[in-house]
Structures are given as structure tokens and as C-alpha cells.
Chain A
Amino acid sequence: MTPLALHGQETWDWLTTSPLFGITLTLAGYALGRWLHHRTGSPVFQPVLVAIVVIVAVLKLGDVSYADYLTGGSYVGFWLGPATVALALPLHHEWHLVRRAAVPILTGVVVGTVVSICSAILVTDLAGGNRELQLTMAPKAATTPVSLALSSQIGGIPALTAVLTILAGITGAILGPWVLDRIGVRDPRARGIAMGSVTHGIGTARALAESRTEGAFSALCMGLAAVATSVLVPIVVLWI
């Protein structure tokens, strides 16, 4: 027997519980997604979606748990916090436009939040989802830490809400600009308000790629939608 075969299982166990595994896999999945996106030019190949699909497949095939993956994955996920802080930069650059659009911004955020919460509960109900599922869906338009906290507060499944939140963001990143073109919304400020209010950080990253103005409005509305959702979700669930 070769030493390689002898230590195969040990090495695999070391690898899958080492931070090196999760970090490398995350970056590799994302790099593959960016390459595919670049190569095909198709918005369906959103790097974040490709990365998630590839990593989930690797974890399933290798029988690696999500907790083991997070040993390394959480090093990458950690930077989401500082990156959220970094969204102040486009806001700072575009502040002269933002400050003059206070009424459209605030109205857009409130309308978007109310429609998102109410329709999430009603549509899930109509499609046969039970109350727990409706409550899990309700806060999905807000940024992940907010939707997660709200979900546990009102009796949803917090971790499933986090996943739905990210899926809503990916949907917005893929379909958002296309939908905006279809309904004739071309003003980058209005586009940013819609992206930030309903598709949080993932939509904001896409908005930033379109233009700095759109990104700035999106970043601000993501923050405002977090406030609006925190206030409105507990009220709405009492009524519907």
C-alpha cells in the first residue's frame, strides 16, 4: 500500500475542516462564475449564482457539511460587514443628487417595502404555504442581517429567510435591469431606488456596475429599506 492511500481519509478530513478549503472553494467558484459571465455575456450566469451552485455541488459530492465549509467560508463572509460600510463611498460621491431627491427616495422605499411584505405573505398563502412559511417570506426584501432577525422575531425560520433574501437579491441582479428597461424606467436614480429597496446588497452591487449614480441611490435605499422593514413587518403580520 502506498503512503498516499494510507493517509487519504486523514488528508480529506484535514482538508474539509481547514479554512483553506472553504476560502479556496469560495474564491474558485466565484472566479468560475465571473469567467462564465464574461465568456457568455449572459445575465443568467451571475457569478454569485454560479458560485453557490458549484459549491453546493462540491459539498454534496464530497459529503462535506455546511458547518465545515463555513470554517473557511466565514472568513470571506466576514467582509460583507466592512463592504456594507464601504457603500458610503458612492453615496458620498453622489450626495448632491441624493439630497435633492428626498421625497421620491422616501416614498419609493415605503411603497416598495409595504408591497413586498404584503405580497410575500399573500402570495405564499395563495400558493398553499402555511403561516410559518408566510412569516419566513415576509421580511425577504431587507438586507440579510435584518431579515434574519425579523424572521426569528415574528416566528419564521430565520436561516431559510436568509437564503430567500439572497435568492431575492440574485433575482434582482439577474432580472432587475431587464424589468426596468421593459417598464420604461431609465432614470438611474429611479433604477437605484428600486434595486436598493427590494434587492438589498446583491442588487446594489449590480446597480453599481451600471452606474455610480444608480449604485449610490441603491446603497442608500438598501439602508432605508432595512429601517422601513424593521418597523413595518411586525405591524403588517398583525393585520394579514
Chain B
Amino acid sequence: MLKGLLALLGCQLVGELAVRLTGIEFPGPVVGMLLFFGVLQLRRPAESSGLVAAPTLLLRHLHLLFVPAGVGVVVYLHRIAEDALPLAAGLWVSWLLGFVATALVADRLLRIFRERP
């Protein structure tokens, strides 16, 4: 477990340093995800390894980790009430359009490429 946590933190650290050193506006953790993917592909750890246990634990409670940022809504309750209609419409209509478009395009293309699992 310790090895796994260190690997996750290490990959994030390298990712964060890389985006800052290069000045690219991109989230360090996503770069860290690509690095950790490389580690997993090279090492091919067993299911019992800490390299599997630590990420499994974090992913099981992934939603918990979004809560503190979501509570930030408390600062904007007034603004949200003021602009309720454009915010609600913009958020939900746009979410639905983007979501449905992506799902349909991906589904049709996967069918055309005929590689169903």
C-alpha cells in the first residue's frame, strides 16, 4: 500500500513540476495519470501489489474527494439565485446536448469499426 501511495504521489509530483517548468496550462494530475499508466504497463503488477491496492482504494471513494470543491457553491448562492435561469439553462441544456452528441457519435463509430468486446 505504501509503495502504491508513493507511486501515485510521485507521478502527480512529476506531472505538476513538468507543467510548471514548461509553462503549459494543463492539470498536473492528468500528466501524472499518463506517467502512472506507463509504470503499470512496464511493471505489470499483480492484483495483490500495492500498485493496485492504493489506486483501488482511492477510486472506490472518488466522489468523496469532490465534496470540498463542491461546497464552494456556498460562496455563490447569491449570484446563482440572481442568474438562476441562464445558469440552469446553460448548464443543463448544454450538458444534455454535449452528452447525447458524444454518445451517439461514439456508438455509431464503434459499430462501423466493428470491434465489439
Query: Do A and B come from the same complex?
Result: yes
What chain B residues lie within 8 Å of A84 (beta carbons)? 12, 27, 29-30, 32-33
For A200, give the chain B residue with the smallest CB separation: B66
The listed residue (A47, A134, A172, A208) touching B99 by CB distance below 8 A is: A172
Chain B nearest CB: distance from A167 CB in Å? 6
Contact partner of B117 (CB less than 8 A), chosen from A133, A153, A189, A222, is A189
Contact residues in A for B64 (Cβ distance below 8 Å): 26-27, 30, 47-48, 51, 76
Whether the pair A80, B65 counts as a contact (CB closer than 8 A) is: yes
What is the distance, in angstroms, from B98's C-beta to the closest C-beta of chain A? 3
User: What secondary structure prevails in chain B residues at the interface with A?
Assistant: helix
Q: Are the CB atoms of A159 and B75 closer together than 8 Å?
A: yes
In the bound complex, how far is the Cα of B16 from the Cα of A126, in angstroms?
Answer: 39
Using known A-B contacts A81-B29, A129-B83, determine if residue A89 contacts B59 with beta carbons closer than 8 Å.
Answer: yes
Pick 17 A–B contacts, CB within 8 A, sort by A: A55-B71, A80-B65, A82-B29, A86-B36, A89-B36, A105-B106, A108-B109, A112-B102, A115-B101, A125-B86, A137-B94, A166-B69, A166-B70, A167-B70, A198-B95, A213-B117, A223-B33
Chain B residues in contact with chain A, CB under 8 A?
Answer: 5, 8-9, 11-12, 15-16, 25-30, 32-37, 39-41, 52, 54-56, 58-59, 61-77, 79-80, 83, 85-107, 109-111, 113, 115-117
**Interface of A toward B, CB cutoff 8 Å:** 22, 26-27, 29-30, 46-48, 51-52, 55-56, 59-60, 66, 69-70, 73-74, 76-77, 79-92, 95, 97, 100-101, 103-105, 107-109, 111-113, 115-116, 119-120, 123-129, 133-134, 137, 140-141, 143-146, 149-150, 153, 157, 159-160, 162-164, 166-173, 176, 179-180, 183, 185, 187-191, 193-194, 197-199, 201-202, 204-205, 208, 213, 219, 222-223, 226-227, 230
